[in-house]
Amino acid sequence: MQHYVNIIINSVFIENILLIYFLGMCSFLSISKKVETSIGLGLAVIFVLSITAPANWAINEYLLADGALSWAGLGHINLDFLQFIVFISVIAAMVQLVEMLMDRFSPALYVNLGIFLPLITVNCSILGTSLFLVEREYDLIESTVFGFGSGLGFFLAIVSLATVRKRMRYSNVPPTLRGVGMAMLLTGLISMAFLGFSGISL
Amino acid sequence: MNLFSSKNKKIVKDPLMGENPISIHVLGICSALAITTKIDTAVVMTIAVVAVLSISNVVISLLRNNIPNKVRIIIQMSVVASLVIIADQVLKAYMYDMSKLLGVFLALIITNCIVLGRAEAFAMQNSPSKALLDGMGNGLGYGAILIAVAFFRELFGFGSIYGAQVFSDQIYSGGYENNGLMILSPGAFFILGLIVWAHRAYTKVIDKD
């Protein structure tokens, strides 16, 4: 149990997917103008990551990795060069599926999160998480926990930036620095604060 | 058609300055930050992006009249993903150390907004030759910012430029130290933020809020 809690703490604070690995910056910068929408996007990312991480783990483990096809008597085939295209297709398909299910069973949730779902397919943090869990050789439960933790890290980062950006309205920023430039500098400061966590040993 | 007509020159030149994908349109930031601790990784990444972006633009432009509108995103994505796989295999075969350094960030060219953005906004409406020029222009515009960020991070983080030591031992023994923050993630955010500011002040682009 402790091991799984450590994975979550590690992926939320110490190796935050956004502030330390820079994944998912595009939507991070464009959606963080309002707190409500940033919460919506953050929740959608947590949701999609917790589903795609185990799905991609299973596909890699039983179809793509070196010797993974031995259950079908094809142990000598190594398909791991197909990882990228298969992972991105799985993510696109999963997002579509989630969107349809949400629309059918929970229209209220769909209204709030639905508009963010198509954006998520091309969010680097989703593909990045799938690639990281292959690189780090996690098992099924570890991957699920890691997916959830990465999503939580993204949520925390985007909501904190949105709240800070809201405060910036009252300050007099040079015109050409407004928007992206300022958001970048603010992210740098938040990221610096998160570096403080790197001293924690788990 | 004249290859060097003023119209074609404009297609290549615009993304380098006034329509820069990173600092003006804010696309493809992830990799701009992650692999810019040193100039050599930035250069390899630039070459990979220029290659993938130009070829994907040409392929999509050739296919543009046969792609059904409803499934266009997934088709564009499979074209890009296949090209990135090729780029990754080439790097693994000929520059193994570099491919280890770039790691997952090479794969993340797939989700780099610039590639899909140009496919959707330009290649779907224009002829292959124009799409090729547009791909090259945008790739180079991306690379220019990447190398600029890497230049400052390497200079202040390691005291070198493209691997060659700039600050001599005398300066170090005089009490100068490399700035460790530049190698870490906040340094990347600060440098890119300042470059965006400088570039926007020069081109006079202003965000509404």
Give ipTM to 2 decimals: 0.86
Report the predicted TM-score, pTM, of the whole model to 2 decimal places. 0.88
Do the chains contact at A184 and B189, CB–CB below 8 Å?
Answer: yes
Residues in chain A closer than 8 A to B34 (CB atoms): 21-23
Window B:82-141, CB contacts with A under 8 Å = 82, 84-85, 88-89, 103-104, 107-108, 110-113, 116
pLDDT tens per residue across all 202 residues of chain A: 899 999 999 999 998 998 888 888 888 888 888 888 888 888 889 989 999 999 999 999 888 888 878 887 787 888 888 889 999 989 988 888 888 888 888 888 788 777 777 778 878 889 999 999 998 999 999 999 999 999 999 999 999 999 999 888 888 888 888 888 899 999 999 999 998 888 887 7
For residue A68, the distance in angstroms to the closest alpha carbon of chain B comes to 20
Q: What does the domain layout of chain B look like in residue ranges?
A: 15-147
Long-range contacts of A96-105 (CB under 8 A, 24+ apart): A98/A47, A98/A48, A98/A51
Rounded to a whole number of angstroms, the distance from the CA of A136 to the nearest CA of chain B is 12
Q: Which of A145-149, A196-200, B15-19, B172-176 has the lowest mean pLDDT?
A: B15-19
Chain B residues with CB-CB distance to A31 below 8 A: none
**Are B82 and A85 a contacting pair at CB < 8 A?**
yes
Closest CA to B122 of B195, B14, B205, B2: B14
Nearest CB among A21, A122, A169 relative to B111 is that of A122
Q: Nearest to residue A89, comparing CAs of A119, A127, A146, A47? A: A127
In this structure, what DSSP letter does residue B112 have?
Answer: -
The reply to whether residue B85 touches residue A184, judged by beta carbons under 8 angstroms, is: no
Interface A–B counts its CB contacts (< 8 A) at 129
Cα distance from A157 to chain B (closest Cα, Å)? Answer: 14
Q: Which residues, other chains included, contact A1 with Cβ-Cβ below 8 Å and sequence gap of 6+?
A: none
Looking at per-residue confidence, does B197 or B7 come out higher?
A: B197
Shortest Cα–Cα distance, B68 to chain A (Å): 18
